[in-house]
Amino acid sequence: MRIAGKTDKGFRRADNQDRYIAGALANGICFGFVCDGMGGANGGSVASGRLCRTLEECLFLENDNKAMEVEKTVMDAIDVACSRIYHQAQSNPALKGMGTTISGVTVKGDECTAYNAGDSRVYVLRGGNLTQITEDHSVVQQLFRQGAITEEEMATHPQKNLITRAVGVKTDVEVDVGEITLLPGDRILCASDGLTNFVKKEILAQILSGEDFYNIPKQLIDKALENNASDNITAVVLEY
């Protein structure tokens, strides 16, 4: 399996509150996660950084365990990080309200498990077709599901950046989990909204189909910057 990732603070942000981790364990499990922090001057980077570190610690603790229950390991790590982030925010007024989205996957054999809370996303490219396999936890997604706004209106709605779930805002968080069976050549994209808000789906698919695999995250970010992205931008790509 091939894995590549990159993050950029973008043109308009003073710092980067996105974080990502990606890699492979000795037991054969591969992973990639993107976390988009929110809250205060530096609260977002504290929250996203803490979640990524906790995930990494828990995954590598099971590095050599071939019987590892990967979904349980990830969900336990998110639970631990959620509690840590929440209590850290309660004890430090400067960090009050901080939290982070999460989107990512673990891959064991041809079994891909996707996780998400918030509006970071996971896509799968198969045969040139790009499919979003996570659903945003956001105000506009709820309105769209209720039929109150159209898909086109979602992009310009004044509440488009309001999310309804995040890790660390409360002591616990509900994380969506889904599974797909991968086929050879499938490519997985985990991305923060700084990418998906500024690059159209058909362009994402075009770039993801490129031959220079390890340069794809940079190409995706460059396209978002070309489109005047006003947010941090992160992309992790895996190929089965």
Determine the pLDDT at residue 3: 98
Domains of the chain: 2-135+165-239 (3.60.40.10)
Whole-model pTM? 0.93
- Cβ proximity of 107 and 190 under 8 Å: no
Place of tokens 């901080």: 98
Q: Give the pLDDT of the chain (240 residues) as one tens digit per residue.
A: 999 999 999 887 789 999 999 999 999 999 999 999 998 667 999 999 999 999 999 999 999 998 899 999 999 999 999 999 999 999 999 999 999 999 999 999 999 999 999 999 999 999 999 999 999 998 877 777 777 777 776 677 767 778 999 999 999 999 999 999 999 999 999 999 999 999 999 999 999 999 999 999 999 999 999 999 989 999 999 999
- The residue type at 195: L
| pLDDT, position 56 | 96
